[in-house]
Structure 1
Amino acid sequence: MTPIDLTTWPRQQHFSLFKDFTQPYFNVCVQLDMQPLYNYCKAQQISFFQSYIYLTLQACHRYQPMLQRVINDAPWQLNTARASVVELAQDDTFRFSYFTQQDSFFAFQTHATHVSTAAKLQPLFSHAFSQTEGQADLIHISVLPWLDFMSFSHAFTQGTNLGIPKLVFGKLNKLTGKMPLSIDVHHALMDGLHVAKFINELQVAITQFINTN
């Protein structure tokens, strides 16, 4: 993690404008073209869910603004991030699974399966939760596979925020191949253009995954 030099950063004034807003995040909802990935996963008998989480982490690491954070009122650039993913336990309450980037999807698949299984056996306020939540190097990801939503809003507190992006994937429409994605980002760090570039990076990652595996 390295500090961003405000004297040379083009967003210096934008950062100053938005960093102290009571609610500094803005939200965009888009429709991802996920039919090719779904078809590929079905043909290869691999997890569609694990695939798009893996590719989301990959796209975040490729696109540096997604790894920028606000720490002690200053902008910082992370080298790496983990995914804090909401998953459903057997009692229909959620748990947090913490996934790290892996060198290959198959390594990620093994890692994610182990982490998910362990997380679902623990209470919400687990040891992993106490050791991880509130840290800056996270990407918050939720999944609502039951809803083909068109907008989304998060619960939030007035406490200190770190500029962590928040992503929510919705239900895959198997007729159109489209899947909703809600993305919240900190306006001191990113604008709409940056969100569009990240979405493009994610779609490119999906295409490359299908073509090279």
Structure 2
Amino acid sequence: MERIDLSTWARRPHYEFFRGFDRPFFDVAARVDVSPVVELTRRSELRLFATILHSVCVAANATDALRLRLVEDGVVRVDQVTPSFTVMSDRGTFNYATAPFTDDLARFSSELGKHADRSRNLPELFLGDDDRLDLVYVTSMPWLDFQSISHAFPGQPLDSAPRIAWGKIVEPEPGRHEATFQLTVHHALADGRDVAIFFEHLNARIQALADHPGS
């Protein structure tokens, strides 16, 4: 973890302006071609959710602003993000789980499944990792092709973790699969350009999966 030197940080005026807002987060949604993900998971044992989540984490780690977090006396940059994600239970409700990120997609998918299974049917919400600075909050809504989504916020002044969501995968034309992805970021730490950079990395990572061996 690295502390940002506010005295030389180009974003300091924006940080000081936005950090006190009642709702300092803003949201951007964009359509993403996920055809390579669908094709890869059809010809391999990789899980669809895990494969998308891995691409999301790769893109978040490659986007500097998405690794910045507010702390009591300033801003820090985490080394890499860890996904905190939702899992459906057998009761029709959801719980939270976290899983360590690794560049190896197959290993990440396997570990993700283990962590999801541990949280899936816990009687209480799993909130044990909420104090971690490296989290990105991730959810998917595979039942609905939404255009945008809003999130519940705890109202904590130092809450600055990005939120990432995606909706139902649709097939607008034969062989092409798309989904809406939404990124929610703290305006003291990120601007529209940073959001665009994230989506550029996300698109590049997903398209690169066309050449993935599938194991």
Correspondence 1:73-84 to 2 at 5 A:
73-84=73-84
Q: Does residue 148 of the first structure (1) align with residue 145 of the second (2)?
A: yes
- Greater share of residues in helix: 1
The AA in structure 1 aligned to 2:166 is: F
Alignment correspondent of 1:203: 203
The AA in structure 1 aligned to 2:150 is: S
The AA in structure 2 aligned to 1:30 is: A
The AA in structure 2 aligned to 1:143 is: S
Assess, with a 3 A threshold, how the Cα gap between structure 1 residues 143 and 124 changes in structure 2: closer, same or farther: farther
Alignment correspondent of 2:31: 31
Report the alpha carbon displacement of residue 5 of structure 1 after superposing the two structures with TM.
Answer: 0.9
Q: In 2, are the aligned partners of 1:87 and 1:143 still within 8 Å (CA)? A: no
Alignment correspondent of 2:13: 13
Alignment correspondent of 2:163: 166
Report the alpha carbon displacement of residue 33 of structure 1 after superposing the two structures with TM.
Answer: 0.8
Q: Does residue 135 of the first structure (1) align with residue 132 of the second (2)?
A: yes
Q: In 2, are the aligned partners of 1:95 and 1:123 still within 8 Å (CA)? A: no
Report the alpha carbon displacement of residue 116 of structure 1 after superposing the two structures with TM.
Answer: 1.0
Distance 2:155 2:96 in 1: 22
Q: CA RMSD in A?
A: 1.4
Assess, with a 3 A threshold, how the Cα gap between structure 1 residues 212 and 36 changes in structure 2: closer, same or farther: closer
Report the alpha carbon displacement of residue 35 of structure 1 after superposing the two structures with TM.
Answer: 1.6
Instruction: Return the TM-score normalized by structure 2.
Output: 0.92
**What SS class does the counterpart of residue 183 from structure 2 fall into?**
strand
**What SS class does the counterpart of residue 138 from structure 2 fall into?**
strand
Alignment correspondent of 2:106: 106
Distance 2:163 2:73 in 1: 20
Distance 1:207 1:52 in 2: 12
Distance 2:71 2:107 in 1: 32
The AA in structure 2 aligned to 1:171 is: K
Structure 1: gaps spanning 5 or more residues? none
Alignment correspondent of 2:65: 65
Alignment correspondent of 1:96: 96
Structure 2: gaps spanning 5 or more residues? none
Instruction: Return the TM-score normalized by structure 1.
Output: 0.93
Q: Does residue 179 of the first structure (1) align with residue 179 of the second (2)?
A: yes
Q: In 1, are the aligned partners of 2:36 and 2:209 still within 8 Å (CA)? A: no
Say which is worse superposed, 152-161 or 18-27, in terms of deviation: 152-161
**What SS class does the counterpart of residue 26 from structure 2 fall into?**
strand
**What SS class does the counterpart of residue 175 from structure 1 fall into?**
strand
